[in-house]
Amino acid sequence: MVKETKIYLMSDLDDKDKSSEIAKLIQSGKLVVFPTETVYGLGGNALDPNASKAIYSAKGRPSDNPLIVHIADKNDVFQYVKSVPLEAKRLMDAFWPGPITFILEKNDLIPYTTTGGLKTVALRMPNHEAALKLIKQSNRPIAAPSANISGKPSSTAFKHVFDDFNGRVDAIIDGGDTTIGLESTVIDMTSAPTILRPGAITKSMIERVLNQKVLDLSNQLPTGEVRSPGMKYTHYKPKGNVTLINGLESHVKNYIRDFEITHHNKKVAIICPSEYEDLFHGFRLRLLGSIHDSALMSKNIFKALRDMDDWQMDEIFIYYKESDELGYAMMNRLLKAAGYHVLEL
């Protein structure tokens, strides 16, 4: 069903009439796409099972993949869970508002549709003025997965959400480009702290606060039992084939040149740090930013993957090696985008 999608600016949240119009959308079970510091979210009232159903359907997401519930005040967490372990509280105090999501045991206020049938709920307080205003003004916790059609790269720019959701949601708040560009770290706190998805709040940052080692299951391959349903679905995929390529610079260059010769009907692109611009001179390139600036590369990665569809690329090679913890989080997304297809030369 095609809907009329209203486009708002962040400043509209400071306008009395427009902000109450937006708040009413959330309160009446409608969908509002909004910016956060990580990626855009596809939001609806987390307490309304019909709103959650509408989110799954607009996103095309399987309904067993749970949504993150966004709150605007740290203390609101107590309203929606059975208990908050001391370690979780310490991490919330250290990192909220910010790019980290905690899995805790839900209470009866959170419907099972929001948690994909799980007894646990994912909670996050985003560090973004517009997101916080939206939650406060609607006076509801907001369930929001990343605002992308299921399987596609997450959205880090207004264009991405407009391309995916114009005509499918009730409103989009244009927040420009998001600053972090990778989704939040997800950590399960229902037993020994376990990272399920790496992000800008890194394992060592968490360990420093807790003064203990934490587990990391985020690179578990999508087979067998999975702790986080998000781990088992295709993610971040452009339409073309994606290959992560590893090896000496000259070998990589020769391989891709030979590939272009033997597949002359295919449109080939390389995604890589800016330092390789000269190495790959003459190839179709999508540069990510300096190899020494993981924050910049992370901010750019989903945009780069989406550009591959705009450029109608058939074959995409990614030449990248992680060098720090943020790079590790980015590699987690790249591995998924490539369907774990890594070519070692």
Residues that bind ligand TXA (CB under 6 A): 36, 38-39, 41, 65-68, 99, 101, 103, 115, 118, 120-122, 124, 126, 144-146, 183-184, 186, 196-197, 228-230
Give min distance, CB of 19 to ligand TXA, in A. 20
Residue 199 vs 273, nearer CB to ligand TXA: 199
Binding residue (CB under 5 A) for Mg ion from 146, 155, 184, 202: 146
In 10 A of CB 225, how many CB atoms?
Answer: 6
DSSP conformational letter for 67: P
Give min distance, CB of 322 to ligand TXA, in A. 20
Spatial strand order in the sheet of 268-272: 285-287, 268-272, 315-319, 241-246, 342-344
Query: How would you class 142 by CB atoms within 10 Å of its CB: exposed for 0-12, middle for 13-18, buried for 19 or more?
Result: buried
Residue 182 vs 245, nearer CB to ligand TXA: 182
Residue 189 vs 245, nearer CB to ligand TXA: 189
Give min distance, CB of 239 to Mg ion, in A. 18
Work out what residue 237 binds among Mg ion, ligand TXA, none; the CB cut-off runs from 5 to 8 Å by kind.
Answer: none
Residue 34 vs 276, nearer CB to ligand TXA: 34
Work out what residue 241 binds among ligand TXA, Mg ion, none; the CB cut-off runs from 5 to 8 Å by kind.
Answer: none
Residue 68 vs 330, nearer CB to ligand TXA: 68
CA distance 182 to 99: 9
Sign of CA dihedral 308, 161, 49, 38: positive
Work out what residue 246 binds among ligand TXA, Mg ion, none; the CB cut-off runs from 5 to 8 Å by kind.
Answer: none
Closest residue to ligand TXA: CB criterion:
230
Give min distance, CB of 161 to ligand TXA, in A. 11
Residue 146 vs 228, nearer CB to Mg ion: 146
Give min distance, CB of 196 to ligand TXA, in A. 6
Q: At what angle do helices 158-165 and 294-310 cross, to 10 degrees?
A: 40
What is the token pair recorded at 302? 């989903």
* Side chain identity, residue 315: E
Contacts (Cβ under 8 Å, ≥6 apart) of 252: 245, 246, 317, 319, 345
> What residue has token string 């391309």?
163
Binding window for Mg ion (CB under 5 A); candidates: 55-63, 120-128, 139-147, 162-170? 139-147
Enumerate long-range contacts of 15-24, CB under 8 Å, 24 or more apart.
19/133, 19/137, 20/137, 22/134, 22/137, 22/138, 22/171, 22/173, 23/134, 23/137, 23/138, 23/139
Residue 19 vs 120, nearer CB to Mg ion: 120
Give min distance, CB of 40 to ligand TXA, in A. 6
CA distance 228 to 186: 9
CA distance 31 to 59: 11
> What residue has token string 């119009």?
21
Give min distance, CB of 150 to ligand TXA, in A. 9
Instruction: Decide if residue 38 touches Mg ion (CB under 5 A).
Output: no
Q: For Mg ion, how many residues bind (rule: CB under 5 A)? A: 1
Give min distance, CB of 154 to Mg ion, in A. 5
CA distance 125 to 142: 10
What is the token pair recorded at 168? 């499918």
Work out what residue 228 binds among Mg ion, ligand TXA, none; the CB cut-off runs from 5 to 8 Å by kind.
Answer: ligand TXA
Work out what residue 245 binds among ligand TXA, Mg ion, none; the CB cut-off runs from 5 to 8 Å by kind.
Answer: none
Please give the residue ranges that form the binding site for Mg ion (CB under 5 A).
146
